[in-house]
């Protein structure tokens, strides 16, 4: 399976901390392997690593990562999620099954990102959440497989039609 990395561009500490945490959690839950964030944020790193430790999986986070260098040096394809790009369904048909670097902006991304990306993908053409855009893109890209993965953590949420069912490993 190709490697999928989410690159968060324009993260503002502490202003975007909550939303960037959600971008990371959606990436993890929907099939990404890691997230890179352009600004150093130790609190964000701790929160995401805590979720991975408790709920399982091999998802990784790196902060303080230069977005230009990351885009230039990336060996696979670069997908920029935006409301100004090619419609999602049309773009998906063109994106090869290889390593992907998915750009998700926190604020207005520099125009250079549009030029450097292999694909500028519009998940709708109305203002919306980057969290929603990432979830929809990953779900469509992976055909729902991201949601069916096993994480093997010390905490497991068991699907239930009513109420919360949580199993916790006592070790």
pLDDT in tens, 78-98: 999 998 999 999 999 999 999
Pairing verdict, β 166-168 and 155-157:
antiparallel
For the record, the structure tokens of 41 come out as 């944020």
The domain of 66 spans 4-168
Report the predicted TM-score, pTM, of the whole model to 2 decimal places.
Answer: 0.93
Q: How many CA atoms lie within 13 A of 61 on its CB side?
A: 28
User: Domain containing 62 — which CATH number?
Assistant: 3.40.1280.10
Judge whether residue 59 has pLDDT over 70: yes
The one-character DSSP state at 33 is: S
Number of domains forming the structure of the chain: 1
Block residue for tokens 């394809």: 77
Point out which residues pair with 60 in neighbouring strands.
34
Task: Tell which residue, 93, 100, 168, 97, has the closest CA to residue 134.
Answer: 100
């Amino acid at each position: 399976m190709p490697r999928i990395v989410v690159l968060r561009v324009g993260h503002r500490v502490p202003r975007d901390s909550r939303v960037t945490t959600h971008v990371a959690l959606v990436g993890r839950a929907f099939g990404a392997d890691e997230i890179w964030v352009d600004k150093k944020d130790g609190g964000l790193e701790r929160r995401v690593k805590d979720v991975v430790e408790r709920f399982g999986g091999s998802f990784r986070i790196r902060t303080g990562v230069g977005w230009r260098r990351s885009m230039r040096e990336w060996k696979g394809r670069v997908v920029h999620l935006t409301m100004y790009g090619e419609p999602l369904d049309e773009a998906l048909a063109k994106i090869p099954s290889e390593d992907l670097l998915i750009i998700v902006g926190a604020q207005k991304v520099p125009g250079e990102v549009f030029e450097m990306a292999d694909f500028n993908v519009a998940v709708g053409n109305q203002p919306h959440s980057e969290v929603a855009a990432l979830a929809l893109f990953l779900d469509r890209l992976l055909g729902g497989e991201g949601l069916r993965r096993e994480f093997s953590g010390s905490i497991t949420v068991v699907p239930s039609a009513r109420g919360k069912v949580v199993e916790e490993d006592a070790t």
